Structure 1
Amino acid sequence: MLGAVFVGINAWLPLDPLKFCISHTDCKLVILDAERAEKLEPIVDELYAEQKVIGMLVVNAQEGKGQWRRMEIFDKALQNSAAGSPPLEEESVLAEDEALIMFTSGTTGLPKGVLSTQRQFLTNVLNTQVGPRRAILRRGEDLTPPPAGPQKGALIAVPLFHVTGLTSYSMLATMAGMKIVMMRKWIPAEAVKLIRSENVTLAGGVPAMVSDLLDSSLVGHPLEGLFFGGSPASELLASQAQVAFPTARLSQAYGLTETNSVAVGIAGEDYMMRPGSTGLACPVNDMVIVADDGRVASHGEIGEIYLRGPNVMKGYYRDPDATSQVMTTDGWLKTGDVGTMDEEGFLFVKDRIKDIIIRGGENIPSLLVENALYEDARVREAAAVGVPDRRLGELVAAVVSLKAQYGGKVTESSLIESVRKSLPPFAVPVMILIQEKPFELTPSGKIIKSQLRKLAREHWELRQKNIPKSARANL
């Protein structure tokens, strides 16, 4: 063990935020693939000039051109190190030592680095087991591991630069002695093939992935566990999944990057009886719902979800102001999500305070999309919102108003193409409504986003029904 702090960066980010993540976290060693090497090569001198990065290693170099300026090939570096360097002494690591930085999307549109200790990170290993083990105990079954047999597999088809993939699924499978079967990209037919060939008994992911499995030839396969994560699954999808895979114990969890993933979980009969719930707080976590007036909400009353426990982050790296905005002095994390809690303590997530669009588990700040729209000289105002999608949960849409001189001269398709160069593929709007007149504003000058969200969803629903509708919107 090096004793180094791991930094997980979203590989699909455009160049500028990718560079920000590397520089902001003071990375010394950057390990990347051929595609990222190609993207970063034009600014490699800048990264070294900041005197933070001291080395860059490219894995799977054969997938690209094989050589990049000021970057080493990982395999060659490993061979050279083994041949001529003395073995390194293992670093002593304590529970409160810093362990990792994972990025989350913030209201500024730039990622925020969530810094966590070894204890905060490893607490999740136990939290991920709470829901399934509670379900086993409720059935009166034994928690003793079954007799040894052929090694079982766990399919990990979500990115390791998100806590869902790194700290939940991978860690849970490792602790259970399972074989980890990884997919670089979600392809339903390939997932079905791997599940069958690799003795995969634990599978799942964001709701879209489970939805794909329901439409595949895998239906009826004797899975032991099927999980939802990244974004809440609909009640209908949960019930359909149980019918399609009757041997599987379904589970869902709630957490954030700031809680190192799971803080609330549900599985088995508890889940099927309450498919709209994300579960009970884990034993090491406290959870309260805080009403708008600052008091603890009563049962069934909506409010912001607060969490506390040993898995809650140390803070946002090099951003004390942002940390103080979400952390109270007595350790409570303000999640930015709103929900209710019933008499038994089950959580029901209702909405998000932040204007984050969750597309297939990928958090997309609305400001990121809006800033890209504002790069187009024709746009006067822009608002990015989510529209519903059965597979992915939400898709990105936007409403814009135009500058007066461009009225009637701008098409939806031209705006979509305009932002495509500035956004990762998953953040490109599927629909942009064009409004000739300025947005209606609040007395304080803010865009009334709830009104625009309603408008966008109405238009999107009409489009899904194949009813012709002009892209030009009227409020």
Structure 2
Amino acid sequence: YTSGTTGRPKGAVATHHAHIGALTNSLYFAALSALGRGLVPGQGPIPVGLLTFPFFHVAAFTGFYRAMAVGGTLVLLRAWDTDTAIGLVRDHGVTAFGGVPTTALQLLARAAELDEDLPTLTSVSTGGAPAPPELVARLTARYGERVEPANGYGLTETLGGVTANFGAQYRTWPQSVGRPAPVVETRIAGPDGTEAPEGEVGELWLRGQSLISGYWQDPEATGAVFTPDGWFRTGDLARVADGGRVTVVDRIKDMVIRGGENVYCVEVEAALHEHPDVLEAAVFGVPHPVLGEEVAAVVRVRAGAGLGAAEVREFVGRGLAGFKVPAHVVVGEDELPRNATGKVLKRTLRENWPTP
């Protein structure tokens, strides 16, 4: 089932043929990663992965398929807890971490507090939500090139990752989710469905073997996202540049239109994450009687940081255009509301936003 963060969960009908495609995508990216590090794919130590995604989440497929294909080990974490995760990495010799960007950031922050080197760890991979470029910077600053960063793009409807970005290429293009697998087609579609010029923002469309065949007993929802010739409308805004690399800029439903200007929440969240005391950030639109919408942000900061809303606005204003700077900022030390897979529930934040 889809996660339901933007609406009611829908049953995703996946064939055996599609799952084989998803497995092949995962193995292709693993082989490409190994070659980029000067290794022979399939050789070397057996990987030990810490899987923080629940098995009902599609991101777990990628880790499970990869481990199953090479005879690897998976260490399971029932519910996310940073100290428990660090202990599992240490006790089981975990080599690969996989989770949403927030859990990866929390792992890095806690390891730094404990001065924990995590000596067996060789890769940190994120998915399930956009990864702020600051994640790569923090990982590289602490561990250099010993730990390979990786992220990618995938949905329930694609049965896992269909693009990937890792290693030196990820460090060079930290805002990107990488290039697609060979058997996955991508299109950046304009409003009429035609392909947008390179570098322009449009809706990301996908086509390939690993896509689902539709939604369970819901032909209306299926017809709304699948074109007659097999393209899947992801609902994500993206652009393709730098040799075919895909960069996701926002969910169409999340984009804020402020006085006619488009504000991509992912860009603002990335700017917020650049502050060393920011642990989590969620940006969304709130109603405004004249502008239509204004930009709002809920920010979780490090305990005792003493960071206020004015300081947050001043910090992001150094690098963002004025209309993108959140007009309203709520700062606290409590974790943001999330679903079971780790995605921030922006719908809950909007519903609880104080009305003027």
TM-score under structure 2 normalisation?
0.73
Q: Which amino acid aligns with 1:129?
A: L
- 8 Å Cα contact 2:105-2:135 kept in structure 1: yes
For the residues of structure 2 that align with 1:319 and 1:240, how far apart are their CA atoms?
A: 43
For the residues of structure 1 that align with 2:95 and 2:284, how far apart are their CA atoms?
A: 37
Are 1:202 and 2:96 counterparts?
yes
User: Match for residue 197 of structure 2?
Assistant: 298
Correspondence list, 1:66-77, <5 A: none
Q: 2:180 is matched with which residue: 272, 281, 284? A: 281
- 8 Å Cα contact 2:90-2:118 kept in structure 1: no
For the residues of structure 2 that align with 1:164 and 1:183, how far apart are their CA atoms?
A: 14
For the residues of structure 2 that align with 1:459 and 1:205, how far apart are their CA atoms?
A: 29
User: Match for residue 136 of structure 1?
Assistant: 34
- 8 Å Cα contact 2:48-2:75 kept in structure 1: yes
Are 1:113 and 2:11 counterparts?
yes
Higher mean alpha-carbon deviation, 319-328 vs 168-177, is at: 168-177
- 8 Å Cα contact 2:201-2:238 kept in structure 1: yes
- 8 Å Cα contact 1:188-1:213 kept in structure 2: yes
Shift of 1:262: 0.9
- 8 Å Cα contact 1:221-1:245 kept in structure 2: no
Q: Cα distance 1:187–1:139, how it changes in 2: closer, same or farther (>3 A)? A: closer
User: Match for residue 105 of structure 2?
Assistant: 211
CA RMSD in angstroms, aligned pairs only:
3.0
Shift of 1:227: 0.3
SS in 1 for 2:14: strand
Deviations 1:227-275 (A, max 9, x none): 0111121111112112323312211110111111111111111111111
Deviations 1:380-423 (A, max 9, x none): xxxxx9994747754487858xxxxxxxxxxxxxxxxxxxxxxx
Unaligned runs of 5+ in 1: 1-101, 358-384, 401-438, 443-447, 466-470
Are 1:315 and 2:210 counterparts?
no
- 8 Å Cα contact 2:93-2:120 kept in structure 1: no
Q: Cα distance 1:352–1:155, how it changes in 2: closer, same or farther (>3 A)? A: same
SS in 1 for 2:2: strand
Deviations 1:211-238 (A, max 9, x none): 1121223335231221011112111111
Q: Cα distance 1:240–1:276, how it changes in 2: closer, same or farther (>3 A)? A: same
SS in 1 for 2:328: helix
SS in 2 for 1:460: strand
User: Match for residue 5 of structure 1?
Assistant: none
Are 1:225 and 2:123 counterparts?
yes
For the residues of structure 2 that align with 1:228 and 1:334, how far apart are their CA atoms?
A: 23
For the residues of structure 1 that align with 2:255 and 2:57, how far apart are their CA atoms?
A: 16
Aligned length: 290
Q: 2:77 is matched with which residue: 170, 174, 183? A: 183
For the residues of structure 2 that align with 1:344 and 1:139, how far apart are their CA atoms?
A: 20
Q: Which amino acid aligns with 1:194?
A: L
Q: Which amino acid aligns with 1:198?
A: H
Q: 2:248 is matched with which residue: 349, 352, 356? A: 349
Are 1:162 and 2:57 counterparts?
yes
User: Match for residue 239 of structure 1?
Assistant: 137
Q: Cα distance 1:212–1:330, how it changes in 2: closer, same or farther (>3 A)? A: same
For the residues of structure 2 that align with 1:157 and 1:455, how far apart are their CA atoms?
A: 27
Shift of 1:129: 3.0
Shift of 1:168: 1.2
User: Match for residue 370 of structure 1?
Assistant: none
Q: Cα distance 1:209–1:175, how it changes in 2: closer, same or farther (>3 A)? A: same
Correspondence list, 1:54-93, <5 A: none
RCO higher in structure (CA 8 A, sep ≥6) = 2
SS in 2 for 1:200: coil
User: Match for residue 171 of structure 1?
Assistant: 65
Correspondence list, 1:422-441, <5 A: 440=289
Q: Which amino acid aligns with 2:54?
A: P
- 8 Å Cα contact 2:62-2:161 kept in structure 1: yes
TM-score under structure 1 normalisation?
0.56
Q: Cα distance 1:289–1:393, how it changes in 2: closer, same or farther (>3 A)? A: farther
- 8 Å Cα contact 1:231-1:393 kept in structure 2: no
- 8 Å Cα contact 1:337-1:353 kept in structure 2: yes
Q: Report % sequence identity.
A: 30
Q: Cα distance 1:242–1:130, how it changes in 2: closer, same or farther (>3 A)? A: farther
User: Match for residue 261 of structure 2?
Assistant: none
- 8 Å Cα contact 1:157-1:186 kept in structure 2: yes
Q: Which amino acid aligns with 1:114?
A: A
For the residues of structure 2 that align with 1:270 and 1:397, how far apart are their CA atoms?
A: 30
- 8 Å Cα contact 1:316-1:323 kept in structure 2: yes
SS in 1 for 2:137: helix
- 8 Å Cα contact 2:163-2:180 kept in structure 1: yes
For the residues of structure 1 that align with 2:181 and 2:160, how far apart are their CA atoms?
A: 12
For the residues of structure 2 that align with 1:171 and 1:313, how far apart are their CA atoms?
A: 17
For the residues of structure 2 that align with 1:288 and 1:134, how far apart are their CA atoms?
A: 23
Shift of 1:170: 1.8
Unaligned runs of 5+ in 2: 257-264, 299-325, 334-352
SS in 2 for 1:338: strand
Q: Cα distance 1:269–1:132, how it changes in 2: closer, same or farther (>3 A)? A: farther
- 8 Å Cα contact 2:294-2:327 kept in structure 1: no
SS in 2 for 1:103: coil
For the residues of structure 1 that align with 2:236 and 2:117, how far apart are their CA atoms?
A: 34
